[in-house]
Amino acid sequence: MSPRLRKAVDADDHSTGPEDAPITLVEYGDFECPHCGRAYPIVKAVQDQLGNQLRFVFRNFPISESHPHAENAAEASEAAAVQDRYWQMHDMLFENQNALEDVDLVSYAEEIGLDVERFERELENGTYTNDVAEDFSTGVRSGVNGTPTFFVNGERFDGDWTDPSVFAQSLLDAS
């Protein structure tokens, strides 16, 4: 039996798609991870393919030992979330994965229309450090030890996610 998601999806999560969708896909990811970068367009394609059948949730799992910018990028996504721009920042970070220095994060904040002064202040003060740590902790408790790690309706998905059509069919089969 595969590991189960230890923290149910709730209002604190960043999700897109209907709350009552028959399929809930949770990704534990790292904005600097090259594998997560490869998964990003695949998940987008699966979202397009499955439409309202899919609710997608992203949780931060920065692996700072190998990805020195991952923690700050995760905190930047949380800072964007409180200004209702989470998914815009999420996409910006993955689409510019090789440019995650602080100056880049500020530039993305500006580009997506955030209050940049507030964004910079919150990053500087570590306002969202605990939020990122909480995501990470729930991942560890759920058996996550690398990224990306996917869960489908609460069960860890260990199948092939590298082909959008195969991944989408696997999600449909698992629901």
User: How is domain 14-174 classified at the architecture level of CATH?
Assistant: 3-Layer(aba) Sandwich (3.40)
Confidence of residue 54 (pLDDT cuts 50, 70, 90): very high
Confidence of residue 174 (pLDDT cuts 50, 70, 90): confident
How remote is the C-alpha of 173 from its chain's centroid? 23
- pTM, 2 dp: 0.96
Confidence of residue 3 (pLDDT cuts 50, 70, 90): confident
pLDDT value at 2 more than 70? no
Confidence of residue 53 (pLDDT cuts 50, 70, 90): very high
Percent residues over pLDDT 90 in the chain: 96
How remote is the C-alpha of 119 from its chain's centroid? 19
Residue from 174, 145, 140 nearest 54 by CA:
174
What residue spans define the domains of the chain?
A: 14-174
Helix (H, G, I), strand (E, B) or coil at 14: strand
- Listing DSSP states for 101-154 in one string gives SHHHHHHHHHHTT--HHHHHHHHHTTTTHHHHHHHHHHHHHTT--SSSEEEETT
pLDDT value at 1 more than 60? no
**Average pLDDT for 138-151:** 96
